[in-house]
Amino acid sequence: MYYAVSYQFREDAILWTVAYIGSSTFRTWTFILWGSLIPIAVVLVDVLTRRVKSTVRRKLFHFIGVISFTPVVMIDPIFFAFAISTATSVCLMVEVGRFFQVYGTSRLSAFLKHHIDERESTDGIIRTHMYLIFGMGASLILHYRHVQNSIREIPAIMELAYNLIPGVISLGVIDSAAAIVGSSFMLRYRKALGGYLKNKFFTGRANPSISHKTTTGTIGGFVAGLLFWILILKLAEVPLMSLPTMYSFLMIAAATLTECFMDGIDNLQLPLVMISATCHLFALLMGESQLWLNEEMRRPNPTTASSLASALRSAWRNFKVNV
């Protein structure tokens, strides 16, 4: 694989990667912080939540992704797309090694055994963690697979929605909050969606998810996703009351509904559905004048901060491109 990538790059892949990460202070610090803090966070969640329900434990790992990935998605999405695609490839190789019981992978199997649901087993290939990592950045991997200068500036609301809603918000916020709230909070008021939706169109056999997805979880996921999206828009200084922004809230509702009716591998399926939904929404809004004429909603293509401190202090859309 190393030689194949080097051949495609027409140079040494490792040297290219080091030069790419080192070309920006922000990328360098992001790489250092990810490499040091994410493992610590994973260990802390594993140790401190051993008496917590398995559903809640699994979703807490999603929140680690939200906290770690959101700033990078907003500041340097091209780097994030590269990092996620690389991490997915590394996880795939490690998982193949674990499946064939390569020396040293037994501890990894023991760790994963406590964080998978009944649909997977350590005796086979475990896909959940790979799908989670890929799903968080699937929209960015597809969008930035070829870096080109745009002929026209992309509205901030469009780029934010496409970069964040299908992965970080749908998987990291809505899906996680729905599972945690539905399984742990307001249990007196909890009722399966099937109690409200079961009819000749929505039957338990045709829609098995409605038999175990709850109303409290669905509402909790929607509220969490809505609040997080508003926070992102405020940080990005996108006007909340413009028509395209108001339409973007439909994607939060769509992600919530998709999550509550989905009974498959949501780490993979949910982002793919939301990528399609987000693309269709803004395709319909292309003719909307407010999407293009509002100067506050436009900015140059993806950015790179000069330092981590400046990235956290400054408005992300004011940085200059440094790809």
pLDDT in tens, 80-100: 998 999 899 888 888 888 878
- pLDDT, greater one: 19 or 197: 19
- DSSP-based three-state secondary structure for 54: helix
Say what the pLDDT of residue 48 is: 86
Rounded mean pLDDT of 278-307? 58
Q: Quick one: DSSP state of residue 202?
A: S
CA distance 8 to 134: 22
Backbone angles phi, psi at 245, to 5 degrees: -65, -40
- DSSP-based three-state secondary structure for 302: coil
Tell me how crowded residue 191 is: count the other CB atoms within 10 A of its CB. Answer: 10
pLDDT grade for 320, boundaries at 50, 70 and 90: very low
Amino acid at 208: P
Whether the pLDDT of residue 195 is over 90: the answer is no
Whether the pLDDT of residue 227 is over 90: the answer is yes
Backbone angles phi, psi at 155, to 5 degrees: -60, 140
pLDDT grade for 240, boundaries at 50, 70 and 90: confident
pLDDT grade for 310, boundaries at 50, 70 and 90: very low
CA distance 28 to 254: 36
Burial state string for 225-237 with b = 16 or more CB within 10 A and e = fewer than 16: bbebbeebbeebe
CA distance 74 to 235: 10
Say what the pLDDT of residue 33 is: 92
Q: What is the pTM of this model?
A: 0.80
Whether the pLDDT of residue 322 is over 70: the answer is no
Tell me how crowded residue 152 is: count the other CB atoms within 10 A of its CB. Answer: 7
Polymer length in residues for the chain: 323
The answer to whether the beta carbons of residues 303 and 78 sit under 8 Å apart is no
The predicted-structure confidence for 205-222, as pLDDT tens digits, reads as follows 555 665 667 788 888 999
CA distance 73 to 78: 8
The predicted-structure confidence for 124-164, as pLDDT tens digits, reads as follows 777 888 888 999 999 998 888 765 555 456 677 888 888 99
Q: Domain ranges for the chain, please list them.
A: 52-144+153-295
